[in-house]
């Protein structure tokens, strides 16, 4: 039995409102540059991976400079404080610090460190301050 015009319109509106349903209807094979959505359950639901290589230029990558700064400064900041250095606490500290910071996404060449160095100079003290606050929170109430 053919669908009525009303049913077709409902299906079309649903696909516009719920874009993930259109992605789920595609082939189940996920893109090689994607990772599963947390709590998704459905392997076809994916989101772009960090450091995504852009299709128009393979030597250009999209990164969050703040995330790189947090990761690079995490160990040195942890050394100053007497707190747990397990992976769970490190991830909690990084997540709390990143949530306090404004993301700074840039598109740059894969091995170009000039933008990273400029961000380090400009936002280094802000990142360290956010890390210290996060360390104090996790130190007060660790999750293990």
Return the pLDDT at 112.
81
pLDDT digits (tens, 9 = 90+) for 103-136: 999 988 888 888 889 989 999 999 999 999 999 9
Range 81-109 burial, b when 16+ CB lie within 10 A, else e: eeebeeeebbebbbebbbebbeebeeebe
Q: What percent of the chain has pLDDT over 70?
A: 61
Find out whether 31 and 45 touch, Cβ atoms under 8 Å: no
User: Which of 13-17, 61-65, 74-78 has the lowest average pLDDT?
Assistant: 13-17
pTM for the model stands at 0.59
Does the pLDDT at position 137 exceed 50?
A: yes
Q: What percent of the chain has pLDDT over 90?
A: 41
Tokens 């007497």 correspond to: 82
Provide the pLDDT for residue 21: 47
């Amino acid at each position: 039995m053919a669908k009525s015009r009303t049913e077709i319109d409902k299906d079309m509106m649903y696909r516009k409102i719920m874009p993930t349903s259109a992605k789920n209807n595609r082939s189940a094979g996920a893109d090689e540059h994607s990772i599963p959505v947390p709590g998704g359950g459905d392997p076809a639901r994916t989101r772009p991976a960090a450091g995504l290589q852009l299709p128009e230029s393979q030597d250009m990558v999209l990164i969050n400079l703040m995330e790189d700064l947090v990761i690079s400064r995490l160990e040195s900041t942890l050394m100053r404080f007497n707190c747990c250095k397990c992976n769970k606490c490190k991830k909690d500290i990084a997540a709390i610090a990143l949530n306090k910071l404004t993301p700074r996404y840039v598109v740059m060449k894969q091995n170009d460190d000039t933008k990273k160095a400029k961000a380090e100079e400009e936002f280094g003290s802000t990142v360290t301050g956010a890390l210290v606050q996060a360390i104090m929170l996790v130190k007060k109430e660790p999750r293990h």
